[in-house]
Amino acid sequence: MSTARATPRFTIGVSLKMYFTHTRTIEWSTAVGELAKRHPAVRSGLVELFVVPSFPALVPVRDALDGAPVRLGAQDLASADSGAFTGEVSGVELAEIGCTLAEIGHAERRRLFFEDDAVISAKTAAALRNGITPLLCVGEIEQAPAAVAALEVTQQIDAALAASAAAGLTGPLLVAYEPVWAIGAPEPAAAEHIVAVVRAIGAHLESLPAHTGSRVVYGGSAGPGLLTTLGGEVDGLFLGRFAHDVSAVESILDEALALGEGAPA
């Protein structure tokens, strides 16, 4: 095993959304945990791996991943830390059970549950307030040139950080660039488009000293082969349905390992 890296070169994560049953979620997570324990890309620290199951599965998945180098994330969190908010789950409780990530601002939350910039900003602040890394989803609605898309998504990031800035909250973000038009599509966005927008996001994040250490991954019909196509130009991938088969996750880890061969530890 090679020397572990202080900062992983790639971050690879999977959101299960609401596709799996409880039993299948735990079976899948157990298999991913075993994969993480043995795969050299994860064992060496080249890849940081995370999973985002449904709320009822968080504690069982945490237990299934015991001893595995896999971060646990939630698909949402409340903007408040306590109170009479029926059906909500607070960042306080998520942190208590071991979540280190919380997905915020996904296009489906915006479209189906009418979450606007104010809600997303409040949830981002709630995550940072509780020591949870915001897994902040951004992306342009309509297909557009990279420069236009970059402007739209950096504005989304700034809007999401408004409440955090007002409260003086700091901490790294994990930004998932997911063009809305590519979510659920047969193919991801073109590699040149992805790289250009991700570079713009990365440059914008570097200009935010309160959020040093932030990273950018690509989502939106991401799957096996894309990391190789991107040539290591993106920090990682945020996967959905193409990772339902654990062998696909292994294939992507193999790609990361191949890209990382020869890189300084």
Q: What is the pLDDT of residues 225-241, one digit of tens each?
A: 999 999 999 999 999 99
Q: How confident is the model at residue 6 (pLDDT cuts 50, 70, 90)?
A: low
Spans of all domains in the chain: 10-260
204 carries an active-site annotation: no
How long is the chain? 265
Catalytic one of 103, 115, 140, 178:
178
Residue 184 has pLDDT above 90, yes or no: no
* Average pLDDT estimate for 83-107: 98
| The model's pTM | 0.95
* Helix boundaries (H) for the chain: 22-38, 40-43, 58-64, 91-96, 107-113, 117-129, 146-160, 162-167, 191-206, 226-229, 246-260
Q: Could you tell me the CA-to-CA distances from 109 to 39, 85, 113, 120, 127 in Å, in that order?
A: 33, 18, 5, 10, 16
Classified as helix, coil or strand, 185 is coil
Fold for the domain defined by 10-260: TIM Barrel (3.20.20)
Residue 67 DSSP one-character state: T
Alpha-carbon distance of 248 to 145, in angstroms, equals: 30
Choice between 6 and 67, residue whose per-residue pLDDT is larger: 67
Reading phi first (left if > 0) and then psi (alpha if -120 to 50, else beta), residue 232 is in left
* Helix boundaries (H) for 130-207: 146-160, 162-167, 191-206
Query: Are 46 and 5 within 8 A, CB to CB?
Result: yes
Alpha-carbon distance of 57 to 122, in angstroms, equals: 25
Residue 171 has pLDDT above 90, yes or no: yes
106 carries an active-site annotation: yes
pLDDT of 264 reads 43
Catalytic one of 39, 106, 193, 204:
106
Query: Are 195 and 155 within 8 A, CB to CB?
Result: no
Q: How confident is the model at residue 144 (pLDDT cuts 50, 70, 90)?
A: very high
* Average pLDDT estimate for 50-59: 98
List, as one string, the DSSP characters of 211-247.
GTT-EEEEESS--TTHHHHTTT-SSEEEE-GGGSSHH
Residue 119 has pLDDT above 50, yes or no: yes
Residue 245 has pLDDT above 50, yes or no: yes
